Amino acid sequence: MFNRSIAVAAGALLGVVTLTACATSSASPGSRLGSGKALTVAASINAWGSMLSQLGGDKVHETSIVSRPNTDPHDYEPTPADGRTIAASRLFVENGIGYDSWAAKAVAASGDSTRMVIDVGRLVGVAEGGNPHRWYSPTDVETVANAITADLKMVDPADATYFDAQRQTFENTGLATYHQLVHDIKTKYSGTPVGASESIFAPLSEALGLDLLTPPSFLKDISEGTDPSAADKATIDHQISTKLIKVYVFNRQNSTPDVAAQVAAAKSAGIPVTTITETLSPVGMSFQDWQSAQLRALETALQQATSA
């Protein structure tokens, strides 16, 4: 396995490449093509898979393992078919940071010394225990897009110019509205106090300059399926009842009784509630259209809250 993220982090110390024995594969970079002579590539979640598909264009055949909005990537159990998908891929993007540990196990089990792997957490420098929701960080999105393009060019050097053009199109056309919304919200609403149901919103909140008042321990507990403390719940109840927060951001793919109660309380207090999801929703939507739709909804909620 060629793990690009490890190479980025460790460089010459690890000899740039990590190889594992493989008795069954004789493939080399640029070989083992998928349907229609496209490179077979895959991602653990469709947030990265959508980007991989767009950056690869008609030179790749992409499969995202987790793609249904009602599936929790944290607890996902891969099927034998998923294992075969990962084993067949020439480039695989996993999130890392403990978010999709099943993916790393599947990669290791396939034992292919020619596959390139991007571990997003290692790539962007977020260690185990950190916030795994890196696709909600605009800066990390750029870093991953660049890494995908670089790796596609290494796997298929004959099409390097094509992949460079795909990267420019993705940046200048695909992500244009997304970047504009991030800029506009930060410009208009930086410093606005907000609350959230879990840590998925934290990277985006930081990028937008919003003041996320929800205790970080509560955000992490809900994200990891741990019961939050009574003190944290009391703090949030106070923030809502006294309207210290202007907007409440709710991950509708991860609701608990505590979160449901907070959503109800926020609505009762007249605090706008807007939603986000962990995977593309609806299924088939592009990364940028999904993110832009959520940013527009957030912008509307902020406008409503600050103009009241």
Q: Which residue has the tokens 């200048």?
A: 172
Q: Are residues 199 and 140 in the same domain?
A: no
Q: Are residues 120 and 189 in the same domain?
A: no
Q: Are residues 38 and 105 in the same domain?
A: yes
Q: Where are the beta strands (DSSP E) in the chain?
A: 2-3, 39-45, 60-66, 91-94, 116-119, 193-196, 211-212, 247-251, 273-276
- Any domain includes 59: yes
- Give which of 195, 198, 200, 212 is closest to 272, Cα–Cα: 195
Last residue of one domain, picked from the residues 174, 209, 234: 174
Four-point Cα dihedral 167, 209, 211, 242, nearest 10: -100
Structure tokens, 238 = 């106070």
Which helix (H) or strand (E) segment is 298 a member of? helix 287-307
Q: Are residues 247 and 140 in the same domain?
A: no
Structure tokens, 204 = 């985006």
Q: How many structural domains are present in the chain?
A: 2
Residue 73: C-alpha distances to residues 221, 265, 280 (Å): 16, 28, 12
Residue 235: C-alpha distances to residues 110, 214, 238, 262, 267 (Å): 47, 8, 5, 11, 17
SS3 9: helix
Q: What residue numbers bound the domain in which 290 lies?
A: 185-307
Q: Are residues 120 and 206 in the same domain?
A: no
Q: Are residues 147 and 208 in the same domain?
A: no
Dist. CA 20–CA 1, nearest whole Å? 6
One digit per residue, pLDDT tens: the chain, 308 residues? Answer: 445 543 333 332 222 222 222 222 223 333 344 444 689 999 999 999 999 999 999 999 999 999 877 777 777 888 999 999 999 999 999 999 999 999 999 999 987 878 999 999 999 999 999 999 999 999 999 999 999 999 999 999 999 999 999 999 999 999 999 999 999 999 999 999 999 999 999 999 999 999 999 999 999 999 999 999 999 999 999 999 999 999 999 999 899 999 999 999 999 999 999 999 999 988 889 999 999 999 999 999 999 999 86
- Give which of 89, 139, 138, 159 is closest to 118, Cα–Cα: 89
Last residue of one domain, picked from the residues 131, 154, 174: 174
CATH number of the CATH domain containing 52: 3.40.50.1980
- Give which of 67, 130, 66 is closest to 102, Cα–Cα: 66
Q: Are residues 43 and 122 in the same domain?
A: yes
Number of Cβ within a 10 Å radius of residue 307 = 6
- Any domain includes 153: yes
